[in-house]
Amino acid sequence: MVTTGKIALCATLFVIAVSLIEACVLTRRQRNSAMPFDWYEVWISLADVAGRKLLALLPLSLATPIFALAWDHRIFTVTLNSALMVFLLFIGQEFCYYWYHRASHRIRFFWATHAVHHSPNQLTLSSAYRLGLTGKLTGSAMFFAPLVWLGVRPEIVLATLSFNLLYQFWLHNTWTPKLGWLEYVFNTPSAHRVHHASNADYLDANFGGVLVIFDRLFRTYVEERADEPCRYGLTTPTRSRNPLVVEFEHWVSLARDVMSAGSVWTAIRNVMLPPGWHVDGSSQTTEALRQQDLAARRTVPVSTQGR
């Protein structure tokens, strides 16, 4: 009998195998280029997925009791007995995913985990499964609890999320061009390249999973531009090749800021406000970085612009 665990294992092995094939092809293509393929990025992603598989054996999820509470107080019991119900579940899941993903960029507590996914300085298929070891501990799945409260069984909600993440695997590449009219509705490699870019113009954009309709609705959609090539990684790039440093450097930074906050209110703001916020006014939030970038562009002499 095929179990959910076996399906998940087969899916994991499949995406790893395909990512390694891509890595071999890119290694050959970029052998003599100025930026050769970096296999260390692949190894760190493999260490991440291996670590998450081990941690999955432990009952450490903060979202589990939240899901249980939502299920015990559900207002309906949903049966997926029609195409319409499946479609509504898909849209509901996309809505929840959008807000989970947006919160992961705008709340430092969740960013400390999600930053691991954005740490690769090259965007390849192996980037897709570098998700961070501490996701279960932070309870990020709680963003999908409204679906459970509406009456969708927790295991179905989590399975739907898994399919969403599996779809996103193929988005993590630099070799797929724009896909015409599909760009208006679906999350595509072009849209996701923007999401992974650290350019000021591209920060905090394109949070959708399968679709970009909520990005367009809530005005967080940004199109990839030929005149603004994507620069991948974090605004302060991760240079370490130590998987433990990559996994925990943002938690260490957060803990340091909390411990030196000076007041409870400042400590709370360090946890809940966007990454880059500092009480002393030297913030490097998305908004601050965009203002700095705009100011820098205004000071560039007209004769040198566009070079």
For 25-82, how does the pLDDT look when each residue is reduced to its tens digit (9 = 90+)? 999 999 888 889 999 999 999 999 999 999 988 888 889 999 999 999 999 999 999 9
pLDDT in tens, 272-302: 999 999 998 888 999 999 999 888 888 766 5
Cα–Cα separations (whole angstroms), residue 217 to 192, 206, 265: 17, 11, 33
CA torsion, ordered 215, 218, 220, 221, to nearest 10 deg: 40
> Mean pLDDT across the stretch 263-267?
97
pLDDT for position 301: 60
Report the C-alpha gap between 64 and 80 in whole angstroms: 22
pLDDT for position 128: 98
Domain residue limits, the chain? 4-250
Res. 216: pLDDT tops 90: yes
pLDDT for position 304: 45
Report the C-alpha gap between 217 and 136 in whole angstroms: 29
